[in-house]
Structure formats: C-alpha cells, structure tokens
Amino acid sequence: MMRNFARSSYRIVSENPITLVAFLLFVGLLILALFGPMLAPYDPLASDVANSLKSPSMQHWFGTDQLGRDIFSRVIVATRMDMTIAVTAVSISFVIGSAIGAAVGYVGGTTDQIISRIVDMLMAFPLFVMAMALVAAFGNSVTNIIYATAFINLPFYIRIARAEVNLRRKSGYVQAARLCGNSHFYIVLAVLLPNILPTLIVQMSLNMGWAILNAAGLSFIGLGVRPPTAEWGIMVAEGATYITGGRWWPALFPGMALVTTVFCFNLLGDGLRDIVDPRRRT
C-alpha cells in the first residue's frame, strides 16, 4: 500500500514541475529548520560593532546588521523559529477546527446554526488585529503567539469541515456505515473526515504561509518574538530604518526569506491536494 502511494505521489509530482519546485523548497526549509544552527557560518547572536552595516561580501554573503551580526546566519537560524510557530499553530487549529466543523456539519440543526453564527462573528473581525489583541492581552511569549495564531485560524477549518460534511452526511456510504451499526463518532472520524481531507490539506498549506506572515507581522510591530532572537519579522523591522540611508540588505534578505516561504506553501497546497485525493491514485 505504501509503495503504491509513493509511486502515485511520484507520478503526480513529476507531472507538475511547479509542484516539484514547491516540494524541493519545502525540503530545503525543513533542512534549515532542523539543522540551521549547525549550518550557520557565524554565531547569529554574536555582535561585532566594528563591522556593523557592512554590505554583502564574500565574508558576509548577506552583509551585517547594525550590531555587526551576520545576516546570512541569522536568516538561516530564524527558519526554525518561524517554522515552529507556523507548524504548531496550524496543527492545533487543523485538529480542533476540523473536529468541531465535522461534528457540527454532521449533527446539523440548531447546533449548526449557533456555531456557524459564532464563526461568522469571528471572521468579521480583522484576523491580524485579533491576533494583536490576544498577544497584547496575554503577553508576547512564543507560546501565546502560537495560541493566538491557532485561534484566528480556527474559523477556516470549522467552516470548510462543516460545509463538506454537511454535503456528505446523507451520502450512500454514510448511510451504509450507519446501517452497519457504527457509532456517530466512528462515522465522523473514520468515514467522513478522510473524504474531506484533501480540501483541509490545501487549506492547511495555505494557512502555513499565512501563519508565518502573521508571526513575522507581530514581531515587526513589537508584539512577537523578542530581540535578540533571530526571527524574520524582527530582522525586517530592524533593517527597515536603514533603507533610506541606502543600506538595503538588512531588510531585503529576511524579507526575501518570508516571500520564498509563503510562495512555497501556496504552491504546495495544490500538490498535496492531488497526492491525498484518492481519485488521482486510481
């Protein structure tokens, strides 16, 4: 079974060069997140004021920042922090939101109406402003940033899972599972959720990029990860003040890392949808 899945996945990826590029970028991000501190040529926290704001060179590929720290090393090491926040937050919202949405869509009735209106109210607020409010209220620790990011992503999964299950709850295979004596819990978990997984996987991939932007945005305005921790949003915020003086590199390279990562996850969603969709494997 795993061999067939691997073979079909390889076929799907090889048919779409853009998806292949996205997967290669994703593998590169994973390598940097896991082994970044070992790959960085310099200590990302080591200051050298004598070499502050040096332009890119063979010694410092991305130049140095206002404290003389190597920007290339900091961009590499920051991958772990941003990826950790995004993966953890999206995983929490994916599991909780999908479960709530599937249960609500399956039950229907008044419960469905109440939860749907609550979700609509949450989505009426600007989500980034809501994340700002949550982090400002509970403190800008990494844990609170993860929880805030997970919370504002919940409505997406609740709405998608609710809509997909609501369409399928009267399908023939669901009725057959009911007639076999299976419990409602089993039908939602083992029958309905696997069939709506492709749509949820695509949303999860898109939310990964948005979660990284959210974490970087909070750090940019001073509500995210605290300096001197290497994080892309902090680096862009610190480097932005030097752009008018012609020193573009402190903000450009961490900004390019953000753009590349978000681009990767946006492209990855379509490839993952095709891989997990059972109709593409037949």
44-70 pLDDT tens trace = 888 888 888 888 889 888 988 888 899
Task: Decide if 7 is inside a domain.
Answer: yes
Provide the pLDDT confidence category of residue 8 given band limits of 50, 70 and 90.
low
Contacts for 61 with CB less than 8 Å, ≥ 6 apart: 72
Burial 64-77 (b: 16+ CB within 10 A, else e): bbebbbbbbbbbbb
Mean pLDDT, rounded, for 105-116: 84
- The model carries a pTM of 0.85
User: Which of the residue ranges 9-23, 96-110, 213-227 would you say has the lowest mean pLDDT?
Assistant: 9-23
Task: Decide if 217 is inside a domain.
Answer: yes
Contacts for 26 with CB less than 8 Å, ≥ 6 apart: 264, 265, 268
pLDDT at 14: 63
Task: Decide if 222 is inside a domain.
Answer: yes
Cβ atoms 177, 185 nearer than 8 A: no
- What range does the domain containing 91 cover? 2-44+62-281
- Give yes or no for residue 4 having a pLDDT over 80: no
How many domains does the chain divide into? 1
- Give yes or no for residue 89 having a pLDDT over 90: yes
Q: CATH number for the domain including 250? A: 1.10.3720.10
Task: Decide if 126 is inside a domain.
Answer: yes
pLDDT at 273: 67
**Alpha carbons 181 and 67: distance in angstroms, whole number:** 67
Fill in the amino acid letter for 93: S
- Give yes or no for residue 196 having a pLDDT over 90: no
Task: Decide if 49 is inside a domain.
Answer: no
Task: Decide if 26 is inside a domain.
Answer: yes
Contacts for 69 with CB less than 8 Å, ≥ 6 apart: 42, 44, 45, 46, 47, 48
**Predicted confidence (pLDDT) per residue in 23-49, tens digit:** 888 889 999 999 988 888 888 888 888
pLDDT at 13: 60
pLDDT at 277: 58
Task: Give the CA count within 13 Å in the CB-facing half-sphere of 12.
Answer: 23
pLDDT at 6: 58
Closest among 37, 205, 190 to 106, alpha carbons compared: 190
- Give yes or no for residue 278 having a pLDDT over 60: no
pLDDT at 146: 92
Task: Decide if 56 is inside a domain.
Answer: no
